[in-house]
Amino acid sequence: MGLGYASTRASSRRTRYPPQPVMPRTKRQKWASNLGLERVLEPSVRDAVHGPSDHRGQWHANVFGNAHPITLELGCGKGEYTVELARRHPERNFIGVDIKGHRYWHGAHAAAQAGLTNAAFLRAKIEFIENHLAPGEAHEIWLPFSDPQPGDERGTKRLTGAPFLERYRRLLGSGGIVHVKTDSRFLHEQTLLSAAACGVQVTHEIEDLYASSGTDCEPALKEWLAIQTRYEERWLGRGCTISYLQLKL
């Protein structure tokens, strides 16, 4: 059902992180550095696993100080999508979520240096995301280049597996949007199967993001898809095909 999208590598943009004054070299140094940032939340193991955490249901009031819609980047890695989307859309709030704080250290400090008060980061496992956000508190989800988990036959680890799609539906509510960008044909196909099994509508499908025409793609989506992470740039350089799916829960 492909949807067109035209872009060239020359016109694509990714987050350019400003130089850091002091570059922590170890994981422990980065963890310690994160503690000084206002919008980095790293709950205790008890809260993370058993919940609910103190910030559940309080993101608008206590973290962002506004009622703007919230978008999640799950498995955010360095947080490049979170930072760039926050930079482009001050009228929205963005939360990058990853279990490894030394990864999102890059994005968290870039957001702080840029004064992006609409970007936050949360250290959490995605399977426990409902411990950290109340139903309806977030409005959409981005899954850029998540692990395809080829050995996960039941889809319990794959972030687009049926158990996760049901989790997202409870979190976002019926009609919530999930964006899936991947270099894995396996993940693309498994996502379609999971969506069908869960009664999730596939509203956009682009099988080759950089070889499509773009005639049917709304401007905002074109802009978001043009954001490139370092991971994406590396695999594009090796000739990999990037695909995109938009799911309506």
- Is the pLDDT at 210 greater than 80? The verdict is yes
Which structural domains are found in the chain, ordered by start? 27-248 (3.40.50.150)
* Residue predicted with more confidence, 85 or 45: 85
pLDDT tens per residue, range 100-154: 888 888 889 999 999 999 999 999 999 999 999 999 999 999 999 999 999 988 8
Average pLDDT on 22-51 reads 68
pLDDT tens per residue, range 147-180: 999 998 888 999 999 999 999 999 999 999 999 9
The residue from 54, 147, 152, 208 that is catalytic is 147
The dihedral over CA atoms of 47, 108, 111, 244, expressed in degrees to the nearest 10, equals: -90
pLDDT at 219: 77
Q: How confident is the model at residue 213 (pLDDT cuts 50, 70, 90)?
A: low
Least confident of 18-32, 142-156, 185-199: 18-32
Count of other CB atoms within 10 angstroms of residue 22: 7
- Is the pLDDT at 202 greater than 60? The verdict is yes
Average pLDDT on 11-35 reads 56
Q: How confident is the model at residue 8 (pLDDT cuts 50, 70, 90)?
A: very low
- Is the pLDDT at 234 greater than 90? The verdict is no
Q: How confident is the model at residue 57 (pLDDT cuts 50, 70, 90)?
A: very high
pLDDT at 15: 56
The answer to whether residue 54 is catalytic is no
* Residue predicted with more confidence, 14 or 184: 184
- Is the pLDDT at 6 greater than 60? The verdict is no
Average pLDDT, the chain: 85
Average pLDDT on 61-90 reads 95
Question: Edge-to-edge strand order for the sheet containing 201-206?
Answer: 40-41, 119-123, 93-98, 70-74, 140-144, 177-182, 243-248, 201-206
Give Dmax over CA atoms of the chain in angstroms. 49
- Is the pLDDT at 192 greater than 50? The verdict is yes
- Is the pLDDT at 5 greater than 70? The verdict is no
